[in-house]
Amino acid sequence: MSEINRKEIVELVTQAHNLVEKAYLANPAVPNSEEWLNKRRLLLADLSLHLTDACVKEEMNIEKIKRYLYSILIIADDFAPDAGLKETAEKVLPAKPISLNA
């Protein structure tokens, strides 16, 4: 990917992100309301744009990409509950044991 392409992609992703974030923040939906799934769709779009941005960075941060993928899969499970997306998310970013001695 050329530097010019990278910059163009980042600019477009930033514009799209600003629009999606504005719509998300303007949506007053609360869990279990009629509009809740629409707000979740906006959150899914937001995370997808973050993932795109992370992927086109000159130096990719794989841990950040894994976190975005994990979040996308968890939220997408709302729309496809029979697809096993939560289980797939756990494979992308397995839970780490918590040490109480730290």
Look at residues 49, 99, 100 and name the one whose alpha carbon lies nearest to residue 71: 49
Domain boundaries, the chain: 3-92
d(C-alpha 23, C-alpha 97), whole Å = 37
34 falls in which pLDDT band (50, 70, 90)? confident
Q: What percent of the chain has pLDDT over 70?
A: 93
Mean pLDDT (whole number) for 46-67: 93
Mean pLDDT (whole number) for 30-37: 92
Question: Given a cut of 80, is residue 97 above it in pLDDT?
Answer: no
pLDDT of residue 2: 86
DSSP conformation letters of the chain: --HHHHHHHHHHHHHHHHHHHHHHHH----TTSTTHHHHHHHHHHHHHHHHHHHHHSSS--HHHHHHHHHHHHHHHTTT-TTS-HHHHHHHHSPPPPPPTT-
pLDDT of residue 98: 59
CB atoms within 10 A of CB 74: 18
Question: Given a cut of 90, is residue 14 above it in pLDDT?
Answer: yes
